[in-house]
Structure 1
Amino acid sequence: LIYISGIISLPYAEIEEPFEAWLDLPAKSSRIDYYHGQVLTYQLASEQQYGTAYKISPETTEEELNVMKCFQINGTKDEAVTPQAALPDLQDFKFLRVEYYRGSLCQVWQNVTTVGYKKNTYTLWMTHSERGADGGKDTPIPIHYEMMGYNTLLGSHYDKYLVEYKEFSTEVNPKVFLLPEGMSCGGFPGPGVEHHMLANPMKDLIHTSASGQSQRMFSHFKDKFQRQYNDEREHEKREHAFVLNLRYIHSKNRAGMSFSLALNSLSDRTMSELATMRGRKRGKTPNRGLPFPFKAYERVNLPESLDWRLYGAVTPVKDQAICGSCWSFATTGAVEGALFVKTGSLQVLSQQMLIDCSWGFGNNGCDGGEEWRAYEWIMKHGGIATTETYGAYMGMNGFCHVDSSELTARIQSYTNVTSGDQLALKMALFKNGPVAVSIDASHRSFVFYSHGVYYEPACGNTVDDLDHAVLAVGYGTLSGEPYWLIKNSWSTYWGNDGYILMSMKDNNCGVATDATYVTLA
């Protein structure tokens, strides 16, 4: 019988997750709670022929807020449910040394496992309790556990996690293994590849032998997105990135946030690679935009919500690919919207033209730029071409070719929405159509956003924090959370069909910090 609590840290995946765990081996039962009881998991091996696993977590829909729901997985002959310990099995560990850790004299035990190119080192620090009043044998108490994974092919550390144990006891109330009274459980929704990892997250971290579930999910990912890698070295690198991202997604979804994360087409990318897709490069030159004309909006009655997609003012979501051209998509989105508001006609304008031709105004093609510089180029040249007349988007820098007879959407001026003024941004959206905005998109939570209202406490909102240009196409409220409706340029595989709801709270991620819209001639 064991009760143990602690914190799991995965530095490479930006995770710190508190847990509590109970284990009763004679009864073949275990339970592990995450994030102070927001998610409860049970592994009951004595139920049914091959055991049963349960996961209880909050679910929020349009009708209900944070209702605890239970999901059930029945074990099978190939995948039987077994009790899950929050401690490693020491059978293959060897005694290493005695040393002090956190002020306690500890025995250090270690297990080194090599599978293919992966060399994994597992180390456990244990101390001993005082002898009991009955003079019985003292109990070893775990203090710290860590795993370090080294890939000999890549010559680098690919994985690291730490478990800091806080409390330990050999007294367990058997009632903790009972499901909450009146709780009815249904099957897991969606495809089955992920179910066992969701129902028992600890198995992926504590066991010194790979469960294979991450590898199966990676195979599924490769099939879905038709990934083919150049060689074994790249395959190893991509699998490592995928597993870190997968763990991050699962952990954050257990944290009970106002939004959910999911795997997407970027799941095999590292954070440094993803940085190339955030191409807003701020220059030191001030722009020549007009100040926001508050007086012109004095009598505007704003609707409670707005979605320009419903009026036909927004073109389909595109994919900027591995090119830092987000600024060009924000530019064309704002101009397309203004053109629609003026003419009632929606035209798909060319990002490629701006990438190829606006270098003289301080933009750097796939290496970044700013929307206002693109506006300046359009103003000087008398308009912008459509994608149909200029040519398809290439995701790379190309040769500039301008035919003035094919240009449309002449810009008279552009306006800077008052920085940080959310009311002004709402009015600009309502009166002028979609607005180009910039955000802090440097966080892993943004990369794997799926649905809900996105709020990232670590997000910056100063001008210097903004690294990605996107398009605001509306606003509204979901479950009491006010949001901006934002169109991204990372394909429909990203987010909610290419869109994200970004919280208005504290101007999170800077949506209202540096917004611009255009006025057509």
Structure 2
Amino acid sequence: MWKLIFFGCLCGLNCQIVTSNLSEGNSSSANCKSEFEKFKNNNNRKYLRTYDEMRSYKAFEENFKVIEEHNQNYKEGQTSFRLKPNIFADMSTDGYLKGFLRLLKSNIEDSADNMAEIVGSPLMANVPESLDWRSKGFITPPYNQLSCGSCYAFSIAESIMGQVFKRTGKILSLSKQQIVDCSVSHGNQGCVGGSLRNTLSYLQSTGGIMRDQDYPYVARKGKCQFVPDLSVVNVTSWAILPVRDEQAIQAAVTHIGPVAISINASPKTFQLYSDGIYDDPLCSSASVNHAMVVIGFGKDYWILKNWWGQNWGENGYIRIRKGVNMCGIANYAAYAIV
């Protein structure tokens, strides 16, 4: 039996914005309209109505001001990470929060009987200073959940894939769409959102998960089409790691593999993150609203994989400060037994 981790500028106005050297902390005077057109081309962005484009243009301007100020602070050594005009640069905070952060709450109390066996074991102390599963060959595509609030499905499926890789050395792409379509029976809400706990409970109940190629992702909720005979990984049980225990997460990532976690992705700095070690004191650990996977760690940081495509962060990843429960990274982490 395997034990696997689961778990605007307005038209005609000029403004100071950051050009291609923005992430370096340098800015130049340019026409906002020209830069906005560049952004649209780079991100294949199209708007149905003039009003929608004007609204996005305004958000673009406001976000660029934030980026420029922040990256100047980075250049002066006042912060450890940079921002950039990524795929969310034309979104207001409200649009970003409502469109992409849809993780439902996982109740720790309801999972008390599922405490991970790794807790209290000798494995807790036997961990390296750094580890990156990508360096061992676990490199998966920069997935994009698109407009579907399916972070919970991507996180659990990716974490299981990591465990399969650890055991076999092979990357077996698992179905995120199955979880989106079928886990509504256990409290998830398709593209409206879901929780890690509900997803784990569903997979235990249904027994397994199909391959991506047999049940491909379409970024919308559909009728459940799970075929038991096509299941390739069976889930028999699952466990959680202690709340706010980053050492337990480090041990699990080392000895079991990539771990699914919940996190607070609300801050504007998270929305516009580019690279470096994310360390925003305004990123509260009091609540979480997004799910990601811990793919590794360094001495002072975690390495997380996100589901917003390669144009967000460090080619789809983020490094985040370790040891202070930054953004609530240790609030809820879990793994499956398969």
State the 1:456 CA deviation. 1.1
For 1:416 and 1:304, the matched residues in 2 are separated by 23
State the 1:357 CA deviation. 0.4
Could you list the runs of 5+ residues in structure 1 that have no partner in the other structure?
Answer: 1-11, 13-114, 119-188, 201-211
Deviations 1:182-223 (A, max 9, x none): xxxxxxx984799998157xxxxxxxxxxx622221011112
State the 1:228 CA deviation. 2.0
1:302 maps to 2:120: no
Deviations 1:264-300 (A, max 9, x none): 1221112222112112111557136621333433575
Partner in structure 1 of residue 5 of structure 2: none
| 1:472 alignment partner, one of 294, 309, 321 | 294
Letter in structure 1 aligned against 2:276: G
Letter in structure 2 aligned against 1:470: M
State the 1:415 CA deviation. 1.6
Q: Which has the larger radius of gyration?
A: 1
Q: Percent identity?
A: 29
Deviations 1:41-61 (A, max 9, x none): xxxxxxxxxxxxxxxxxxxxx
- Contact persistence 2:23–2:274 (CA under 8 A): no
State the 1:453 CA deviation. 0.4
More helix by percentage: 2
Q: After TM superposition, list the pairs within 5 Å mapping 1:321-360 onto structure 2.
A: 321-360=146-185
1:198 maps to 2:16: no
For 1:238 and 1:190, the matched residues in 2 are separated by 18
For 1:299 and 1:223, the matched residues in 2 are separated by 48
Partner in structure 2 of residue 435 of structure 1: 259
Question: Normalized against structure 2, the TM-score is what?
Answer: 0.87
More strand by percentage: 1
Structure 1's 440 and 289: CA in aligned 2 closer, same or farther, altered over 3 A? farther
For 2:100 and 2:331, the matched residues in 1 are separated by 20
State the 1:476 CA deviation. 0.1
For 1:513 and 1:404, the matched residues in 2 are separated by 33
Partner in structure 1 of residue 3 of structure 2: none
Partner in structure 2 of residue 444 of structure 1: 268
1:250 maps to 2:68: yes
| 1:235 alignment partner, one of 30, 41, 53 | 53
Q: After TM superposition, list the pairs within 5 Å mapping 1:23-102 onto structure 2.
A: none
SS in 1 for 2:121: helix
For 1:413 and 1:511, the matched residues in 2 are separated by 23
Q: After TM superposition, list the pairs within 5 Å mapping 1:47-446 onto structure 2.
A: 191=20, 198-199=27-28, 213-256=31-74, 257-275=79-97, 276-282=99-105, 286-287=110-111, 290-293=114-117, 294-298=119-123, 300-390=125-215, 392-446=216-270
Deviations 1:25-77 (A, max 9, x none): xxxxxxxxxxxxxxxxxxxxxxxxxxxxxxxxxxxxxxxxxxxxxxxxxxxxx
- Contact persistence 1:253–1:260 (CA under 8 A): yes
Deviates more, 1:488-497 or 1:221-230: 221-230
Could you list the runs of 5+ residues in structure 2 that have no partner in the other structure?
Answer: 1-7
- Contact persistence 1:313–1:433 (CA under 8 A): no
Deviates more, 1:432-441 or 1:316-325: 316-325
Letter in structure 2 aligned against 1:319: N
The alignment yields a C-alpha RMSD, in angstroms, of: 2.6
- Contact persistence 1:323–1:396 (CA under 8 A): yes
Equivalences, count: 320
State the 1:365 CA deviation. 0.8
Partner in structure 1 of residue 4 of structure 2: none
Letter in structure 2 aligned against 1:277: F
Q: Which has the higher relative contact order, 1 or 2, with Cα contacts under 8 A spaced 6 or more apart?
A: 2
Structure 1's 476 and 218: CA in aligned 2 closer, same or farther, altered over 3 A? same
